[in-house]
């Protein structure tokens, strides 16, 4: 089966965590995978295109299916894209280094 990750964040950007945050380091980047708000654990979710069909999964579901690598790569690429946009908006260069 051909899998392609299409990043669709569940809205972590702009949320101010009220509790614990969970991260994983991937390719030199520290990626937020889950956070807790008002005692409720929210796990990052995204959707994949599998054989032309969209499949919505959380990272733990993706891990059980063996899709972790493609999902983390998509999250990393989105983080790079967002960081480059923010750097450009602030007048800095578009070179974005990994954050660990």
Tally the C-alpha atoms within 13 A of residue 74's C-alpha that lie toward its C-beta. Answer: 21
Q: What is the mean pLDDT of each run of 10 residues along the chain (100 residues)?
A: 47 60 90 84 85 88 90 87 77 58
pLDDT for res 52:
85
pLDDT for res 64:
94
Tally of CB atoms within 10 A around 33: 19
pTM of the model: 0.66
The token duo for 31 is 């990626």
Q: How, if at all, do strands 40-43 and 29-37 pair?
A: antiparallel
């Amino acid at each position: 089966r051909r899998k392609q990750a299409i990043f669709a964040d569940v809205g972590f950007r702009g949320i101010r965590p009220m509790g614990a945050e969970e991260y994983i380091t991937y390719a030199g980047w520290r990626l937020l995978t889950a956070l807790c708000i008002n005692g409720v654990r929210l796990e990052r979710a995204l959707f994949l295109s599998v054989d032309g069909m969209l499949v919505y999964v959380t990272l733990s579901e993706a891990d059980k299916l063996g899709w972790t690598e493609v999902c983390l790569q998509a999250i990393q690429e989105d983080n790079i894209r967002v960081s480059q946009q923010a750097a450009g908006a602030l007048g800095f260069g578009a070179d974005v280094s990994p954050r660990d």
